[in-house]
A and B are shown apart, each in its own frame.
Chain A
Amino acid sequence: MTETHIDREALSVLREVMEEGYPELLDTFLADSESRLGELQKTSDAKVLSAVAHSFKGSASNMGAVRLAALCQELESEAKDKSPSEIARLVADITGEFADVRPVYEDERQHALTH
């Protein structure tokens, strides 16, 4: 059950690349993710679900949230085949996963500000 949620290696590369821009990046990601989650939760259109999931997958992978990215991939490819209840479950998983990794990013933000 020790599935990796966050690729720490990726985070340190991001930190190194962004330098002073790191906090802004984290903020942007968290804000984007919130709004995407909102879209996922309120739509039932398979095409929209797929598109949003695709987009979410992209930034999640850039930010090292590997499990989040994998879940979004699943939603993206199966949105048109799954039943509403199955979709609802996937969206809930995604919401949950984001909630789990969110503290890590907030932590990173704190850390960056004080150094």
Chain B
Amino acid sequence: MQAQEPLTVLIAEDSAADRLLLSTIVRRQGHQVLTAANGAEAVETFKEQHPDLVLMDALMPVMDGFEAARQIKVLAGEALVPIIFLTSLTESEALARCLEAGGDDFLAKPYNQVILAAKIKAMDRLRRLQATVLQQRDLIARHHDYLLNEQRVAKAVFDKVAHSGCLSAPNIRYLQSPYALFNGDLLLAAYTPAGDMHVMLGDFTGHGLPAAVGAMPLAEVFYGMTAKGYGLAETLREMNAKLKRILPVDMFCCATLLSLSFQSRSVEVWNGGMPDGYLHRMASGERVPLPARHLPLGILSAQAFDDRTDVYPMAVDDRVFLLSDGVIDTCDANDQLFGVERLQQVFAANREPDRLFEDIEQALRDFRGQARDDVSMVEVSLLESAQTHGAAPVYSDSGQSCPLNWSASFEFRGATLRRFNPLPFLLQLLLEVHGLRAQSGALYSVLAELYSNGLEHGVLGLDSSLKRDAAGFARYYEMRAARLEALQDGFVRVHLQVQPQGEGGRLVIRVEDSGKGFDVARVMERPVDNVRLSGRGIGLVRQLGRNASWSDQGRSASVEFFWEIEA
């Protein structure tokens, strides 16, 4: 038999001979013995000495064993102090009383020392088990507090890094739990320099800190690149590469990205592993599904990553609706999933588009019987451009050494046109001129328009009149992708010239392409049509810049910007 750890045992027994006998037996088994001759003495001794185990006679004068046991159990609190009743009571009713009073076991008279030793050992095992449980519980509670605190800190840092971007813009409506971050849900929105809007709804694998920690680098990339004027494709490539590099192999981020252009009345979509989004066309009531065509971010290598997007035309007031899988995956009591069909039913039954969120939440509550707090939804509408505005970027240098008299020329040829977007770089270069900073939005829009015209209509030879309806839109972008893939020759040149003028300066931008040109006079004659989806680019350039002109049969475009130094 394994050696028993010595305990302090309290023996409460009114018969002197029995007390003497029992003390000797227990002492011989290696324990320290305290004695009491009645219940009251037993309680007092317990209070003072805190024995590990009590042997309690049931019937004693002054206070009997039952009452003493009750009091001792209360004094012991959470800890287990085993009480073994000593009794020659035989009726089961009397024995039941012992248990009700808090007794853990019995020892019959005459005392059998073998049985006593076995019972002490068993009771002590229970006592130590209870002590371990309490210790573990306290440890767990402490760790839980640490975890909660870590999450609080992480969330504070994340909020600084990610901020809310332009989620408060008038055309965005969203629903997100305050602890979405720790469910892996991420919602980001930011304006591009041209006044377009990038929106991302993401869902990281996992929960808690591991899910949250990938969100920070991702948010930095999203905001940084969007602010510089990078398009969705480049931003996606960078985000994918970053996540692939930093996340463990089994972690990734499902995401849907949107680029909403108020100017060109279109939305560009990339969906990697998220549930279908929906483009709701107000005029027809149709909801076009935006399914996942790609794997989530962080899985494929840079070479294998597919950054192709889908482009859809949008009319004013049309909306794009995105949701996380928390909606579809909601379960009821029988483990039935809410599923896509029920969501479609909610869409069909929805009468007021502005109440879509409420309708969905109500449907979830009805289905599940209670509200969920880990559902993320966002709805982005296309408003008239006048209703949107971007925040002006803040610069920190003093402008003493900004370049005021310079020119630069760039030629982008062949295969470079396929993958490289020079616009962010060109914009950054121009923004070195402080006087131009106030017009960065207009500058970017004009540069982007001239460059994309040069590339798409010039080098690739695409006809923008294709974009008159939704089907034509899709065809246009298909052809764009195909021709770009096959491109070998051709170029787009960008010339920039900055000169001081009076108290300020002048910038001349000239963009040339290697295409066939177009009939400039005819296009200029067309009235500016706000409804048609194409041909608005020339109008935009003339509106935002000065002295816009086309030469070389439309292959060369020139436009100027001026600035004055504020007094």
Contact = CB atoms under 8 A, between A and B. Distances in A.
Of A13, A29, A54, A55, the most chain B CB neighbours within 10 A belong to: A55
Contacts of A21: 20, 24
- Taking residues whose C-beta sits less than 8 angstroms from the other chain, chain B's interface range is 10 to 19
A1 interface: no
A24 B24 CA distance: 11
Nearest to B108: A61
Contact of B88 (A17, A24, A32, A58): A58
B28 A59 contact: no
Given A57-B88, A62-B21, A28 B16 contact: yes
A54 B17 contact: no
A62 B28 contact: no
B65 to A, nearest CB: 13
Contacts of A59: 15, 17-18
A94 interface: no
B560 interface: no
A79 B111 CA distance: 26
Nearest to A14: B21
Of B21, B28, B109, the most chain A CB neighbours within 10 A belong to: B21
Contact of B59 (A24, A54, A62, A64): A54
Nearest to A29: B17
Contacts of B109: 58, 61-62
A24 B20 contact: yes
Contacts of A13: 113
Given A10-B110, A58-B88, A25 B20 contact: yes
Interface residues of A, number: 22
Contacts of B113: 13, 17
B24 A18 contact: yes
B16 A32 contact: yes
A63 interface: yes
Contacts of A51: 59
Interface of A, secondary structure class, is helix
Interface string B87-116: 010000000000000000000011101000
A17 B17 contact: no
Nearest to B57: A58
B84 to A, nearest CB: 15
Contact of B20 (A10, A28, A57, A61): A28
A12 B525 CA distance: 129
Contacts of A18: 21, 24
Interface in B1-45: 14-18, 20-21, 24-25, 28
A90 to B, nearest CB: 18
Interface string B450-475: 00000000000000000000000000
Contact of A55 (B20, B59, B110, B111): B59
Contacts of A57: 88
B504 to A, nearest CB: 112
Interface of B: 14-18, 20-21, 24-25, 28, 59, 88, 109-111, 113
Interface of A: 10, 13-14, 17-18, 21, 24-25, 28-29, 31-32, 51, 54-55, 57-59, 61-64
Top 10 A-B pairs, shortest CB-CB distance? A29-B17, A28-B17, A61-B110, A59-B17, A62-B110, A58-B109, A59-B15, A28-B16, A59-B18, A58-B88
